[in-house]
Structures are given as structure tokens and as C-alpha cells.
Amino acid sequence: MTEHSRHEGPAAHAAATLSEMWSGRATNRVQWVLAAGGAACIALGVELAVDANWTTGVAALLISVIGCLAAGLLMLFGTLAFVHVGVRIDEECLEVRCGHMGVPRRRIPLAQVVDAHFAPRVTPQQWGGWGYRWRPEKGTAVIVRRGEGLVLRMRDGRDFTVTVDDAQSAVRILRARCRGGRTAV
């Protein structure tokens, strides 16, 4: 936390909070196990294609190879996309990037954020699993692990939740920016 001298006062602290950039991250190492399972399915599909006797049962073998490759690719890329999530807050927006390639990505202009809340315990069970989730009664979420999270209340009444470490700092900055944006309007 930033220390302020006697001469700075609350106005200087508010200005520093409004110009502050924040970034956070959350990781789920369990999903590496699922990615390894996907790689194993791909290896099985390649093994079937290379070592199989293609003279008998070509259709069944072809379906097995394609099935193993498809399942493996879905498992591998589906889990690697949500091994970690990165959240960045700047003066204009909150950006959420998933996985190593940053896809899927969501960019939320701060003008659309009404308020931010700290959620001490967000679980995959609350949202129906890991990944990018949507529930009609709750809104959307990016869940990569259980634990603390950031909940944004949007102008349209929906919520956006993301699990991220040090979510309380993000909430502090977002609340200051929301208040700053309302007083300027």
C-alpha cells in the first residue's frame, strides 16, 4: 500500500489510485493433468494410424484414429486455454486473458462497470465447472480454480466473475475508478 505524507492528503491518494495500473493472475495446475490426458489420446491416435494393419476393418480403424485425434485435440487445447487467467486493469478497461495464447479474451470498458465486489470463495461447482461460463441467473465467469475472485456488476444488471489472486486490490482500484467516473459525469 502506498504511504502518503502529511501534505498529500486523501485527494492525492485518490488521484494515485485512479492512475494506478493493476494486474493479477490465477493458475490451476490440475488442468495440466487433463492436458496430458489429451496428449495421450493424440499419441494413441498416431500409434493406431502408424502401427495398425489397414487391410482389415479400415472403416473401424479410421473412426478410431479420427476419434482419438479429435478427443485428444479437444482435451489438450480446451484445458490449455484455461490453465491460467490474467487480469489487467488500466485507466480505460478491465481485460481478462485466458491461457498461453490469451484466448478467449474479454475487454470490459470501465464505463460499463457499476460496482466491484470481492468474493472470498468462488468454486467451479457454483458455475458448473472450469472455463468460460454463463449462467442466466448469475451472468458470466472465467473460473480457473477455486478461491478468491472479483465480481463486477455491469450497467446492464449482469455480473462478471473472474478468479484471480489479490482480488481485494483489484476491487479497491475498480471502486475508486467507478466513483471517479461518476463524479466526473
| Rounded Cα gap, residues 56 and 61, in angstroms | 9
Specify the pTM. 0.73
pLDDT score of 5 more than 50: no
**CB neighbour burial string for 116-143, b if at least 16 within 10 angstroms, e if fewer:** beebeebebebbeebbbbeeeebbbbbb
The confidence band for 51, taking pLDDT boundaries of 50, 70 and 90, is confident
The domain defined by 9-27+85-184 carries CATH number 2.30.29.30: yes
Q: What percentage of the chain exceeds 90 in pLDDT?
A: 52
Tens digit of each residue's pLDDT (9 = 90 or more) over 162-185:
999 999 999 999 999 887 654 333
Q: What pLDDT was estimated at residue 31?
A: 82
